[in-house]
Chain A
Amino acid sequence: MDEREFEEKMRAALRPVEAPDGLAERIIRRAEARAERTRKPVTQQAWLRWGALAALLTMGTFGILRWEDKKRAEQIEARKVAEQFTMAMSITTRKMARIQKNLIVEVPLRSGL
């Protein structure tokens, strides 16, 4: 199988699929329900309760959420770096092995020589 044929097979194997029946409706319903929750009128008592809690929790919650967001973003960045680092080590190791193989006189790969 040549490269072009292989790529065509890959396209065929990974071709887009239909979304499950009713998925769009489920999504729209959930989005509307979520929007509804934020709009729902709150009783005065609930307002007072929330007001008090909000005063106590705003800084802490906001701080925690931001910290979580920050941590998550850091992990994503760290993963990207890890991928690149691993690739760099892979290329280096492969190159070293090839150089070693091609040498007529083998030189030990020890530092300090």
Chain B
Amino acid sequence: MGSLPSFSELVHSHQGMVFSITLRALGNREVAEDLTQEVFLSLHQNLASIESEDHARNWLRRTAANRSVDEIRRLKYRRGPSLDQVAEPSVDAEESDPMLMAQLRESVASLPPLARMLTIMRFQQEMEPREIAAELDMPVATVKSRLHRTMKLLRGKLEKRAEVRKHR
């Protein structure tokens, strides 16, 4: 488990993780940063109850996820932002198909809040359905089922767009 790092160390270690979750969930850098700050400020207030680095990481991830879902519902970011609002860094070497990447992100951004968060937890945070279920306090079967349906939906959307592009 190890000893608990300082708050400052926790911020530096996990700011990327929290920001990534909130950014992909909300699709807007300003709002994502605000929410990231709020999550860490909550951590600061609850530091006494944090037992280890692992505990802190899990706490941050769970809080970021739940707060993002609440924020999406509050702000009704159902349709997702326009792509300009997400100031992605310039194309890096890993993106062999930036158009496809943008389409996938847009599709994820248009998902309902919970489906969006499940997708982010699975494919960004690389969590197994059991871990996601524990973090979001949901039945494992529901997580699996929702992920399956969401993937089917996203693939369908992608295939439809590919068809449309082909026929233009």
Contact = CB atoms under 8 A, between A and B. Distances in A.
B15 A19 contact: yes
Interface residues of B, number: 46
B41 A27 contact: yes
Interface in A46-60: none
Interface in A1-40: 1, 3, 6-7, 9-20, 23-24, 26-28, 30-31, 34-35
B70 A31 contact: no
A19 B120 CA distance: 17
Interface secondary structure of B, over-half rule: helix
A84 interface: yes
Contacts of B24: 14
Interface stretch (A63-71, A75-83, A97-105): A75-83
Given A19-B16, A80-B138, A13 B105 contact: yes
Contacts of A80: 137-138
Contacts of A79: 73
B120 A14 contact: yes
Contacts, number: 99
Sorting the interface of chain A by its residue count into under 10, 10 to 19, 20 to 34 or 35 or more gives 20 to 34
A65 to B, nearest CB: 14
A96 interface: no
Interface string B3-46: 00001100110011111100110000100010011001100100
A20 B7 contact: no
Contacts of B163: none
A26 B123 contact: no
A16 B13 CA distance: 13
25 contacts: A1-B155, A1-B158, A6-B151, A6-B158, A9-B101, A9-B104, A10-B108, A13-B101, A13-B108, A14-B120, A15-B20, A15-B124, A16-B17, A17-B19, A20-B19, A20-B33, A24-B8, A24-B15, A27-B11, A27-B40, A31-B41, A31-B44, A80-B137, A83-B114, A87-B145
Given A14-B108, A23-B15, 20 more contacts: A1-B155, A10-B123, A10-B151, A14-B24, A14-B105, A14-B123, A14-B124, A16-B16, A17-B19, A19-B15, A19-B19, A19-B36, A24-B15, A26-B37, A27-B15, A27-B36, A27-B40, A27-B41, A28-B11, A31-B41
Interface of B: 7-8, 11-12, 15-20, 23-24, 29, 33, 36-37, 40-41, 44, 66, 70, 73, 89, 94-95, 97, 100-101, 104-105, 108, 114, 119-120, 123-124, 126, 137-138, 142, 145-146, 151, 154-155, 158
